[in-house]
Amino acid sequence: MDLHARSTARRGSRLAQVARVLVVEDEPNNLELALRIVRHAGHEATVATDGYAALELAREHRPQLILLDLQLPKLDGWTVVRRLRKEPWAKDVPIVAISASASPGDESKAIEAGCTEFLSKPYYPATLRDVLNRYLVAA
């Protein structure tokens, strides 16, 4: 295999491993942290900062994973996840709820609404990397 073919093959396998992640977060510092982690892991990140934008971008980009803050302006995360779960393409997409409110009631409410997992803020970067590894298996 010549150098060009090897380079193309490597790029092709790398591209096959890139996932689309929708990061829904309205707090700038939390958003920046999540984006750094997602992009450092080699994935493509799309950003929404309110619930309506989250729905629109999810429908447009069809992400393989959604990281969803529950306390959002305009439309809360619980409503976003309920609406997404009604759409056939999104039924099996992992949606990880992320919230500063870490009471057992909020975690249960998020899971009942359709979230796959609950992550409380603040979280360690390694915790979010573990979430990415759990749901975004390399192709």
pLDDT of the residue at 3: 38
The yes-or-no verdict on residue 90 having pLDDT over 80 is yes
Q: Please give the pLDDT value at position 80.
A: 97
Q: What is the pLDDT of residue 103?
A: 74
Q: If pLDDT is split at 50, 70 and 90, which confidence band does 7 have?
A: very low
Measured between alpha carbons, how far is 65 from 96 in angstroms, rounded to an integer? Answer: 8
Q: Which residues contact 134 (CB under 8 A, 6 or more apart)?
A: none
**pLDDT per residue as tens digits for the range 101-121:** 767 788 888 999 999 999 998
Segment 7-23 mean pLDDT? 60
Of all residues in the chain, the percent with pLDDT exceeding 90 is: 74
Tokens of 90: 């999104």
Rounded Cα distance, 80 and 72, in Å: 10
Cα(112)–Cα(109) distance, rounded to whole angstroms? 5
Q: What are phi and psi of 35, to 5 degrees?
A: -60, -45
Number of domains in the chain: 1
CATH number at residue 82: 3.40.50.2300
CA–CA distance, 109 with 90 (Å, rounded to integer): 19
Containing structural domain, residue 17: 3-135
